[in-house]
Amino acid sequence: MAKLFGTDGVRGVANLELTPKVAYDLGRAGAFVLSDFLKYKSKILIGKDTRISGDLLEAALISGICSVGIDVDLVGVIPTPGIAYLTKKNNYAAGIMISASHNPFYDNGIKFFNKNGYKLSDEIENKIEEMIFDKSDNLPKVTHEKIGSLFYKYNLLDDYADFLENSFGYLDLSDFKIALDCANGATFKIASRIFKNLGAKVYVINNQPDGININLNCGSTHIAGLVKFTFENNCDIGFGFDGDGDRCLIVDSNGKIIYGDEILSIIGCYMKSKKTLKQNTIVTTIMSNLGLFMMGKKEKINIIKTKVGDRYILEEMLKDNYNLGGEQSGHIILSDYNTTGDGILTALYVSKIMFEGGKKICDLNNMQVMPQVLVNAKVSNVKKNDYLSNIEIKNAIKSLENEFGEAGRIVIRPSGTEPVIRVMLEGQNKNLLNQAAMNLANLIEKKLK
């Protein structure tokens, strides 16, 4: 069967790969499945980021959903975590976010959340795909008064903003100068307002979206602009969001970038000190920096590793009731507050830690970042997993592991999207890491040629 869903919804070049027809089909099948096969009259919430193609795909989604008798509430431009929060809070059958996250403007995506505000399981995604590709087309085509209706609920953005603003009780940020980079994306309407309402002196860049400048040399994926802006304006801290607002990276007052692993370390140590870190555990991925695991050992915090992808982190958190997880990219999940990564929420939580401790972010960062080198070994897709059975490659990996001991780490991971095997090495000497990573990648290419 053909495959629509990737690791984070359906994504592609808007109007070329992700066409109105695809959006219409997703609307029909998604509404049917997520409303429990039309057993009850329900509504679906739709939001979007600032891409020029958002209106195109939104109209097609609405048509598909209404065609099976489900009503639609439109909230307009809103961060992805806002859709997750509002879907659960207001008992929608589902929430849909139109966004390609940190991708360029010409890409777009359609991401579903179930009634509890979580991303869909593989099982539900497969059901939706089966209905779309079923040539018998047994989905209902309702008529007369049963056709779904459209309602404009732009005020729901304020409900989400209020939730963020009031999540941490009394929070006075009047002593802080805070820089924000909104990536010309979904946070541009509310991020500045929230921090100003909490008393901060706010300096904002990249909050004038025009449909094509989302993520363009700005935001968490292009952080250099925020580094310069934070330092030049003598700000205490800078927060950089991505296009759909589910990621946050930090810049300190010295212009140093604080990535997701360090953010996890800062929040995790604070939560442990307050006895709110469930089971003293942080969930992250195999690609996290070795320094995070060293911090965990020092602070007696368990660090659990999953496959790469926030959905796998969340699955692990739900399975064993953990409440903090995230990735190096700045996708931080604080499950006591929301069901998915939330960039503004992360920024507010870090601000809360600074407010309570009266410290700068650079004084709170207790994780030593270890040098990390990533090299791609080019192999064919059919041979990407063969490194596991090649004796010479296995011996080379084992030899490096013995050489590094606890002061280094090797991660070998076949790419899910490209004909490459990713070779990631960490340790204390970057020059040695570079050479060792290149040697290992060359060996993999040679043996799997």
4: three-class secondary structure by DSSP: coil
Which contacts of 300-307 are long-range, i.e. CB under 8 A and separated by 24 or more positions? 301/268, 301/269, 301/272, 301/277
Name which of 206, 203, 280, 283 is nearest 245 in CA terms.
206
Q: Any alpha helices (H) in 210-342, and if so which ranges?
A: 224-232, 260-273, 290-299, 310-320
What is the residue type of 99? S
What is the residue type of 310? D
- DSSP category for residue 359: -
Strand ranges across the sheet with 409-414 = 372-378, 420-426, 409-414
Count Cα neighbours of 67 within 13 Å in the Cβ-side half-sphere: 18
Backbone angles phi, psi at 132, to 5 degrees: -70, -40
Tokens describing residue 447? 């043996």
Name which of 368, 371, 369, 370 is nearest 431 in CA terms.
371
DSSP state letters, 408-431: -EEEEEE-SSSSEEEEEEE-S-HH
- Residues 6 or more apart whose CB falls under 8 angstroms from that of 87 comprise 45, 94, 95, 113, 114, 115, 116, 117
d(CA 370, CA 257) in angstroms, rounded, equals 14
Catalytic residue list: 101
Tokens describing residue 78? 């809103």
